[in-house]
Structure 1
Amino acid sequence: MLKKIFRTVDNLFKRSDTKSESKQNYVLEQKFISNNAIDTIKKLQKAGYEAYLVGGCIRDLLLNIQPKDFDVATNATPEQVKKVIRNSRIIGRRFKLVHVFWGRETIEVATFRGPHEQARADNESVQHSSGRILRDNVYGSMDQDAYRRDFTINAFYYDVTKKKLLDPIGGLKDIKNKTLAVIGDPTQRYQEDPVRMLRVVRFAAKLDFCVEPLSEAPIYHLSYLLADVPAARLFDEVLKLFLSGKALRVFELLCQYNLFKILFPKIGEVLSTSPQAEKFIRQALSNTDDRLNSGKTVNPAFLYATFLWPVLQQRLGQSSWLEKLPNLLELQEVANELIFEQSKYTTIPKRFGIPMREIWEAQIRLAKRQGKKADLLLSHPRFRAGYDFLLLRESVGEDTGGLGAWWTKYQQLDDQHRRVMMQDLSGNKKTTKRKYRYKPKVKKVEI
């Protein structure tokens, strides 16, 4: 966790001129900026191009948060960037970008974008009938690029050579007021890219910012636009949302803006009628936040298994598995159908779909402890996830007959004491061998 670097936002920058607040230049402490990003910018500037550190990394430093990524904006085209910096690669078709590789760190370089009107005139912009931009590779100036960015707090440009920060949109004011505001007409911006509505949720939760009313209002009636976004892209956005360390707040905002039921329509239907299902998901997300904020990891398979569990229970007709366990083959069949259906909305890669099903299957296997099954399950690679899922079920009041406590104790004992637990489970504390008497055969004598 980043130590507190700055006491206040005002201490982060030193005024270097007397321009209005929206056009002020500031000196930024460069020791907190990636050296690779600085080298990338200097190479482009040496070749005669404009180049700036841009966006979220500056926002995070302002808010005392360690940036994860450092992005660069320039007036050089992707092809020109590649010529200047050989250790790079052009990616993307919808929006061409350049990735510059410095060992394990990748610096993303984007060319200044121009206005949509010019893009359409140059036949470089293709839009869906809903307004969503399908391709946009028209370039412009830094000022034009600033107005093309999503939020005011992401429209900062920092010149590492002159050591000055530019704020053409007035994002510093919104940072000080903890306000999230969309640049331009929010309705139009959401229509151009519906994923911006998810970014509103992510940043509002991550930064604990209030969403500006004008930016908030259109989300309620434009949530349906997410249905046109490719499922693979939405899967990536779901991971960003729920693996941010603010998963519970993200869930609340998604439900508030009617976005959660677009991403997870099946569980959305169950949540409307089942307080227990909502309690289960809330507890799971609270646990997720605790793990991430303590430096631990969370497998997306566990996250998705949590979201779809109430639907699986409903389809199996099992509100409680204490009295009668579902058939394992039936569970596998329903699980496969459910994963397939969800993948239409947010793609679930196979590397996560298989562990999801195994976590659900473990809920049946954990109840079948006779013989060698307990030891075999204990050595299964998905045991820990299944066990944690069992404890999660119990934490929201589901009665499993004490399975969680039994497995907790079983893991802590040696082999000898585990055998005693198995004997106690079967009701036979001692077993004795049956003794057989030898009975000699009697020959029959015929008279």
Structure 2
Amino acid sequence: MPSAPTDLPLGSKRVIAESEHRIPRQKLDDNAMKVVYRLQDEGYDAFLVGGCIRDLLLGMQPKDFDVATSAHPEEAEELFRRSRLIGRRFKLLHVRFGRELIEVATFRASHDSDDNDGEHGRQAESGMILRDNVYGTIEEDALRRDFTINALYYCVRDHSIHDFANGYADIQRRQIRMIGDPEARYREDPVRMLRAARFAAKLGFEIEPGTAAPIHTLGPMLTRIAPARLFDEALKLLQSGHGEASLRQLKRFDLFRTLFPQTDAMLDSEEYPVETLVYNALANTDRRLGQGKSVTPAFLFAALLWYPMQRRLQVLLDERDQPALQCLHQAANEVLAEQVRSTAIPRRFSGPVRDIWELQQRLPRRSRADQLLTHPRFRAAYDLLLLRENSGEDLDGLGQWWTDFQNADESHRSDMQKGSRSTSSDAAPKKRRRRRKPSKPSND
């Protein structure tokens, strides 16, 4: 892109011609284009909008393509056979093309309109938006979006970009800037603070000083957000291929504590290598995603909450005369129950988290290695075991033993298990070993 143009007053439209922005037409999503053309054929305004345009300008391939239109959700729904309305706080239309979903949103207006206290748009006294179905013009829609870089509209008629918030210039400056007053916009939706951190991590952009300034003060407002929504935001931050960079941004603005308060409280622990394990787990996740491999929230949460669970387990082992496995189950329940107060963990993930933790206690029982190898959570548990060792835990070479066992033939496996029977024992952490120097996690 050429050098950044001079900023126009907020709300003024700048049209960037195709000859200037140079987005290749073949990079546009065919199904999203079909949606836009269908809406236009019925007399509605419609544009590709938001992150997809931002990413195309940066030479990235967007994961999703969104559409903004003058048609109300119910009007748009009538035009597409395979579609459905979702949401109440923010009503949207999803149009399905096979496995692909195109999200269609009606132009919204700001919440200082006359309808603000009516049925379609409401705000709490704190400024937080409770419902966001106040419809407006494209100009109003642009100014109610969060960051300038997300307020770009692609016109399919002449393939130009319509910019109402100087977002094109901010992309060239590689900066994230809030539209309007940052403090007021964060109060409308505190999740915007997490989004600022995520975009900075994903894009390698700087957060403009005025946009960054209120975050430290307003961060505690995130505790008012539904834990289920924060779970989704946590996955976007930490499990989208830029987890390490996201963690650095979260720590910079003291936001990590709102997502993982128990882990955050232990980051500076001298007793456990908490911070090293967290960074290694995120590096492992980033690498797997970069290699096109699958990842699961269960593994990530098991790693991030491992030491809070270990600390609670140690307390229970010291206080009670109970089997180690029983103490582990109680510790897991208590730590997960505390975590869901911040970020909800669906049961389809919390169950596997418990399994991964329980296997950490069973993996030292090498005489039963054949049985453990068939456990559905073995691979995740093995990966966590390696991360623990690489983060500084001294486990007597257990990770290497399991690596060798998996690579051995049947006869060698039998010999390895026989040789382990005399040393196999319960893995309850009765005495902590001296931590060694941590290292980066090895490749899978």
Normalised by the size of structure 1, how large is the TM-score?
0.87
**Which of residues 75, 80, 87 is equivalent to 1:85?**
80
Deviation of the 1:277 alpha carbon: 0.9
Count of residue correspondences: 404
Correspondence for 1:221: 217
- Which whole-Å CA distance do the structure 1 matches of 2:363 and 2:119 have between them? 60
RMSD: 1.9
- Which whole-Å CA distance do the structure 2 matches of 1:406 and 1:155 have between them? 54
**Which of residues 34, 40, 49 is equivalent to 2:35?**
40
Matches within 5 A, 1:195-274: 195-274=191-270
Deviation of the 1:272 alpha carbon: 3.8
Correspondence for 1:65: 60
**Which of residues 320, 337, 358 is equivalent to 2:334?**
337
Correspondence for 1:322: none
Q: For structure 1, which runs of at least 5 residues remain unmatched after alignment?
A: 1-8, 12-19, 319-324, 429-447
> C-alpha offsets along residues 7-40 of structure 1, whole Å, 9 cap, x if unaligned?
xx349xxxxxxxx996123124321111111111
Structure 1 stretches of 4+ with a deviation exceeding 3 A read 272-275
Does residue 1:292 correspond to 2:289, yes or no? yes
Normalised by the size of structure 2, how large is the TM-score?
0.87
Deviation of the 1:88 alpha carbon: 1.6
- Which whole-Å CA distance do the structure 1 matches of 2:118 and 2:340 have between them? 37
Deviation of the 1:415 alpha carbon: 2.1
- Matched-pair contact (CA < 8 Å) for 2:36–2:67: yes
**Which of residues 102, 124, 138 is equivalent to 2:120?**
124
Correspondence for 2:440: none
Correspondence for 1:396: 391
* 1:63 counterpart letter in structure 2: L
- Which whole-Å CA distance do the structure 2 matches of 1:199 and 1:167 have between them? 21
Correspondence for 1:417: 412
More deviation, 331-340/181-190: 331-340
- Which whole-Å CA distance do the structure 2 matches of 1:391 and 1:163 have between them? 51
**Which of residues 278, 281, 285 is equivalent to 2:278?**
281
- Matched-pair contact (CA < 8 Å) for 1:150–1:183: yes
Relative contact order higher in (CA < 8 Å, ≥ 6 apart): 2
- Matched-pair contact (CA < 8 Å) for 2:117–2:123: no
> C-alpha offsets along residues 338-386 of structure 1, whole Å, 9 cap, x if unaligned?
111111110101111011111111111111123xx21111111111111
Deviation of the 1:293 alpha carbon: 1.3
State, as a whole percentage, how many aligned pairs show the same letter.
50
- Give the 3-state SS of the residue equivalent to 2:102 in structure 1: strand
Deviation of the 1:162 alpha carbon: 2.5
- Which whole-Å CA distance do the structure 2 matches of 1:103 and 1:368 have between them? 47
* 1:195 counterpart letter in structure 2: V
More deviation, 254-263/116-125: 116-125
Deviation of the 1:427 alpha carbon: 5.7
Deviation of the 1:121 alpha carbon: 5.5
- Which whole-Å CA distance do the structure 2 matches of 1:271 and 1:427 have between them? 37
Does residue 1:387 correspond to 2:378, yes or no? no
- Matched-pair contact (CA < 8 Å) for 2:366–2:421: no
- Which whole-Å CA distance do the structure 2 matches of 1:212 and 1:196 have between them? 14
Deviation of the 1:175 alpha carbon: 0.6
**Which of residues 6, 10, 16 is equivalent to 1:25?**
16
Correspondence for 1:317: 314
* 1:154 counterpart letter in structure 2: N
- Which whole-Å CA distance do the structure 1 matches of 2:254 and 2:13 have between them? 34
